[in-house]
A and B are shown apart, each in its own frame.
Chain A
Amino acid sequence: MARELLAGWGRTAPTSADVCRPPSNAAALAALAAAPARGVIARGMGRSYGDAAQNAGGMVISTAALSGIGWADEASGLVRAAGGASLGDVLGFLVPQGWVLPVVPGTRHVSVGGAVAGDVHGKNHEVDGSFAGHVVALTLATPGGARRVTPGDDPDLFWATAGGLGLTGLVLEATLRAVRVESASVRVVTRRAGGIDGVMAALDAGHGRHRYAVAWLDGLARGAALGRGLVSWGDHAGVADLPAARRAEPLALGPARSVAVPAWWPGSPMPVPAVAALNELRFCRGPDVETTSVEPLDRFLFPLDAVDGWNRLYGRAGFVQYQFVVPFSAGDVVARSLDRLRAVGCPPLLAVLKRLGTADAGPLSFPMPGWTLAVDFPASLAGLASVLDELDELVAGAGGRVYLAKDARMRPELLAVMYPELDRWRARQRAVDPGGVLRSDLSRRLGLLGTIAGAG
């Protein structure tokens, strides 16, 4: 076990912890039992943007070596994956056999444990809900030992774990329900829309017609064009949808294509005018009317994976990804946020808008019916801290919430406002971890476990 400096994918606020890499479930349980005074948290692929998977001065258990994947019940599509297996690896196992995971986030580099702990969602939340809704059973390493948890047998612990940010234990294994597909391709319909209202109207109009729906927004455009973007809808392609050349092997996943950010990339963030120019190009190349294409599954689902190490594009001080959801009735918050960010000179370099559907039973689970906007900024941007505080208030006031698995800067006082079931979650968390062994920088910073700031 060695001290290592750890940060989230946003590379902000790095802290050091003793990192232990157990080679087996038994070793993971032993490590948990030997937690030091400053506690322990699990870490998968380190793709949480903020400080959810770090634990300053304490222990961090890396699940990297717990990576087995196999069928639990092939006939009914139940796949068993270790907590450290990546969703990309799970798909690599499933897709050639004609299955996919029903819910994946925008990157394949997320561990199964992390997907549970963040209760991640994809571009199909309105249709399929979030990740935990397709988890049949979990094997959880808790401070009291290993426990098998299902939503039926122990709903309290199961739903405290879904979106519970690793604070109920370490996911050793999950049994996931896969769904059948005919091909490894997606039929994609794309069109551009001239402003934020147009984008939202397009997403509204497409509601219920497709499995996947997402909009990329140009947060750097000015005036009426602010929030213009490309709206994409997708459905798993049948064999008949494929070009003739791909029909022979419809389930073949092409090699994962990506380029890497070069090692010489400077320590400063991408210049805004360059990003604005790229946005302009991307928008103008988008089709004016709905246009259909067939794309490889992974390219459609994982746009973030096209550039390896893209987090370094934001420079040495890292970046903040801010994601909120507001009820459909408060959809104006989306436009007001973009306006406000533009007005104070903090336009987002990347902005993604989606509709979310019914919430699941996780008290800390992020999704709820409404609009969700995710925006990226260089962390060192002057004025960013106060404008994001302002947006927090706007979002909380509208009955919305900020995504904790991505958070790196929220004002702790708003936690209970945004997550009204917080106390219920705390009671369940305390029941499974009465000794207060499970802790993270995020839990300390937000006072998630009950006391704000300073609570060890």
Chain B
Amino acid sequence: MNDAQGSPQTVVVFGGTSEIAGALLRRLAARRARTVVLAGRDAARLEAAAAELRAAGVTLVETLPFEAADTAGHQALVDGVFDRHRDIDLALIAFGELGDQAALEADPEAAAGLARVNYVAAVSVGLAVAARMRAQGHGNLVALSSVAAERPRRSNFVYGSTKAGMDAFFRGLGDSLRGSGARVVVVRPGFVHTRMTAGLPPAPFATTPDAVAAGIVRALETGAATVWVPSILKWVMTVLRHLPGPVFRKLGER
């Protein structure tokens, strides 16, 4: 069960090798998390993450092969997790790909693949988790969106559009869960220094996985439905969202 400050005891992560997930789990393990399920693709990395969690005091860590694009298997996979561990207090949707914008523009099939992972798979996992949380009467569903969801940019609009879709989906899902005891938290980090962004020029207000994790923990304490990391991005994006197209494009070229 979650405690008064939103600290979970049982956590499942979809995209279990995500660095943001790792940072969040380190913080949760220091509080109340004693059971963690890591679902992901890279077995070796999952095992390494699992070992770190065991060392941090998590008594039960389960690793689970999870293929985001295999939406047909999601329902059974999610049901299996909930059946084995009975209560899931927090589910984190942490999988996603950035892709290379130029390559994606040149390869529509690859772009569709990115959309399947970032958006379509998030929808199917999100619905499967939401149904079980509704039934158990509680739970926090945390979805890693992106600041890129807010307004498409020339330089990464394929990725941005997939995040915009998943962001809208989880906000709507949150509304649909009102009164059920389950809650959705949508997280919109700016540029985060991770494997996924290695080698890319950092954007302004770049942040770290641990800062994002701290933002999520804070949202669990306050009950916020949306988290921006760093928090100033909320105001930055409020301005950027309303800029006239030519000005916005000009900014994007810099």
Q: Interface range on chain A: under 10, 10 to 19, 20 to 34, or 35 or more? A: 35 or more
Distance in angstroms between the alpha carbons of A380 and B6 in the assembled complex: 10
Distance in angstroms between the alpha carbons of A58 and B87 in the assembled complex: 12
Task: Decide if the interface of chain A is mainly helix, strand, loop or mixed.
Answer: loop
A379 in contact with B35 (CB, 8 Å): no
A58 to B, closest residue via Cβ: B137
Does B163 make an interface contact (CB < 8 A)?
A: no
Q: Chain A contacts of B35 at CB under 8 A? A: 453-454
A56 in contact with B1 (CB, 8 Å): yes
A385 to B, closest residue via Cβ: B5
Does A344 make an interface contact (CB < 8 A)?
A: no
A454 in contact with B2 (CB, 8 Å): no
Instruction: Give 1 or 0 for each of A41-53: 1 = CB within 8 Å of chain B CB.
Output: 0000000001100
Instruction: Give 1 or 0 for each of A308-327: 1 = CB within 8 Å of chain B CB.
Output: 00000000111010000000
Distance in angstroms between the alpha carbons of A384 and B180 in the assembled complex: 27
Interface hit among B104-112, B216-224, B232-240: B216-224
B137 in contact with A444 (CB, 8 Å): no
A56 in contact with B181 (CB, 8 Å): yes
Task: Decide if the interface of chain B is mainly helix, strand, loop or mixed.
Answer: loop
Q: Chain B contacts of A55 at CB under 8 A? A: 137
**Interface residue ranges, A against B (CB under 8 Å):** 3, 5, 10, 12-17, 38, 50-51, 55-58, 316-318, 320, 379-380, 382, 384-385, 389, 408-409, 411-412, 441, 444-445, 452-456
**Which of the residues A57, A409, A454 comes within 8 Å of B3, measured between beta carbons?**
A409
**Which of the residues B85, B137, B222 comes within 8 Å of A56, measured between beta carbons?**
B137
Are A408 and B138 CB-contacts (below 8 A) given A382-B221, A454-B10? no
B180 in contact with A16 (CB, 8 Å): yes
**Which of the residues A5, A13, A317, A454 comes within 8 Å of B86, measured between beta carbons?**
A454
**Which of the residues B1, B4, B87, B218 comes within 8 Å of A318, measured between beta carbons?**
B4
Those 7 A-B pairs whose CB atoms lie nearest each other, nearest first = A56-B137, A408-B4, A57-B137, A12-B4, A453-B9, A445-B1, A16-B181
Nearest-CB distance from B217 to chain A (Å)?
9
Q: Give the residues from 49 to 100 in chain B that come closer than 8 angstroms, CB to CB, to chain A.
A: 60, 85-87
Scoring B5, B6, B32 by chain A CB atoms within 10 A of each residue's CB, the highest score goes to B5
Instruction: Give 1 or 0 for each of B115-154: 1 = CB within 8 Å of chain A CB.
Output: 0000000000000000000011110000000000000000
Given contacts A16-B138, A57-B136, A385-B221, 12 further A-B contacts (CB under 8 A): A5-B181, A16-B181, A50-B4, A55-B137, A380-B5, A389-B31, A412-B9, A441-B1, A441-B138, A445-B1, A454-B10, A456-B87
Q: Give the residues from 1 to 37 in chain B that come closer than 8 angstroms, CB to CB, to chain A.
A: 1-7, 9-10, 31-32, 34-35
A5 in contact with B222 (CB, 8 Å): no
A11 to B, closest residue via Cβ: B4
Scoring B2, B31, B135, B136 by chain A CB atoms within 10 A of each residue's CB, the highest score goes to B2
Are A453 and B34 CB-contacts (below 8 A) given A56-B137, A57-B136? yes
A385 in contact with B7 (CB, 8 Å): yes
Q: Give the residues from 159 to 215 in chain B that come closer than 8 angstroms, CB to CB, to chain A.
A: 179-181
A455 in contact with B86 (CB, 8 Å): yes
Q: Chain B contacts of A3 at CB under 8 A? A: 137, 179-180
Nearest-CB distance from B5 to chain A (Å)?
5
Distance in angstroms between the alpha carbons of A50 and B60 in the assembled complex: 27
B4 in contact with A320 (CB, 8 Å): yes
